[in-house]
């Protein structure tokens, strides 16, 4: 079988995008997805995303983590599929699509994609860790000297800790810099490693930075892979709507792979 794909990245979080409007991709073949994402044996990516038709939306996003399992919402992948749909001519300025956590709207403004995220309705403390769901589950922790922090070691121990079983969690380590800016490094579940950036993760960090440290919308985010910003509206205690993840999403290359 030969598969056509396009590789995209959003602040260094990289994805294999497949136009699956014909629904021919064997989506239940977890080993195949894992192999396509493998950086030595495959194309190499943090995840794989199918673009499918949907009767009520411009398109549907089906997202898999690099381990081949279907993941929860992916914010950087969301910006990448919006860019992909735009490149395919599916929409011009604004789009409305369906993802695993429900409806999203988005618009293209030059290099940037403005992606509307799901509303957040709770922020909890679990075993002294701040936890919230922004489409995917996230722990947010503020630390000193993030540059030299052991993100993989500490992230993995929280991700597999009893508190977050059975599903596990993504873990974001954060440090406030000057000017309403937070530096974030994320351990990602499903990749089981640090990624260069995580969209739902930095969204979680921005909301917690507002609550705990009074940062204001739009919060500026620095990741290893580049800069993002998060705009939001506070509607109550632990309640946020009009949450936007804003930043670039770029096509890297296109190819064909025989499996
Ligand atoms: N990289 C993604 C998060 C993927 C979520 C995934 N790791 C999971 O928890 O299933 C993002 O930009 O939001």
Closest ligand 1 atom to 69 CA? 10
Catalytic (active site) residue 80: no
CA dihedral 120, 124, 129, 134 (to 10 degrees): -10
Structure tokens that stand for 128 in this block: 């002294």
Share of the chain above pLDDT 90, in %: 99
DSSP helix/strand/coil, 133? strand
- Cα-Cα-Cα-Cα dihedral sign, residues 109, 113, 116, 121: negative
Q: 189 labelled as ligand-binding?
A: yes
Structure tokens that stand for 20 in this block: 């699956």
Rounded to whole angstroms, the Cα distance separating 233 from 244 reads 10
Q: What pLDDT band is residue 178 in, cutting at 50, 70 and 90?
A: confident
Ligand 1 contact, 159 CB (< 6 A): no
Share of the chain above pLDDT 70, in %: 100
Rounded to whole angstroms, the Cα distance separating 9 from 150 reads 24
Q: What is the pLDDT of residue 96?
A: 98
Within 10 Å of residue 216's Cβ, how many Cβ atoms?
A: 9
List of E strands, 110-249: 112-116, 123-126, 129-133, 137-142, 170-176, 181-188, 193-195, 219-223, 226-236, 239-248
Q: What is the pLDDT of residue 247?
A: 98
Closest ligand 1 atom to 195 CA? 1
pLDDT above 90: residue 210: yes
Ligand 1 contact, 180 CB (< 6 A): no
ipTM, 2 dp: 0.93
Rounded to whole angstroms, the Cα distance separating 115 from 75 reads 8
pTM above the 0.90 mark? yes
49 closest CA partner among 161, 229, 199? 199
Taking residues 4-31, report their average pLDDT: 98
List the domains of the chain with CATH numbers: 2-107+249-258 (3.10.310.10), 123-248 (3.10.310.10)
pLDDT above 90: residue 179: no
Catalytic (active site) residue 37: no
Closest-CA residue, ligand 1 atom 4, reads 74
């Amino acid at each position: 079988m030969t598969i056509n794909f396009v590789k995209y990245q959003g602040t260094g979080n990289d994805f294999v995008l497949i136009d699956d409007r014909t629904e021919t991709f064997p989506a239940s073949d977890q080993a195949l997805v894992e192999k396509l994402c493998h950086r030595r044996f495959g194309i190499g990516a943090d995840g794989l995303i199918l673009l499918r038709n949907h009767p009520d939306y411009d398109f549907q996003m089906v997202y898999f983590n690099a381990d081949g399992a279907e993941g929860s919402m992916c914010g950087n992948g969301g910006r990448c599929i919006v860019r992909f749909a735009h490149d395919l001519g599916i929409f011009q300025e604004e789009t409305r699509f369906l993802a695993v956590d429900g409806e999203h709207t988005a618009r293209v403004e030059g290099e940037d994609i403005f992606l509307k995220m799901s509303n957040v309705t709770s922020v909890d403390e679990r075993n002294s860790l701040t936890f919230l769901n922004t489409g995917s589950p996230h722990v947010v922790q503020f630390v000193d000297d993030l540059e030299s922090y052991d993100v993989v070691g500490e992230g993995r121990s929280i991700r597999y800790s009893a508190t977050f079983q059975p599903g596990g969690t993504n873990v974001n380590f954060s440090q406030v810099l000057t000017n309403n800016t937070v530096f974030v490094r994320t351990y990602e579940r499903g990749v089981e490693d640090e990624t260069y950036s995580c969209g739902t993760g930095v969204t979680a960090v921005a909301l917690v930075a507002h609550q705990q440290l009074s940062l204001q919308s739009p919060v500026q985010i620095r990741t290893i892979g580049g800069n993002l910003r998060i705009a939001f509206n506070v509607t109550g205690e632990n309640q946020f709507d009009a949450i936007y993840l804003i930043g670039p999403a770029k096509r890297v290359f296109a190819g064909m792979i025989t499996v």
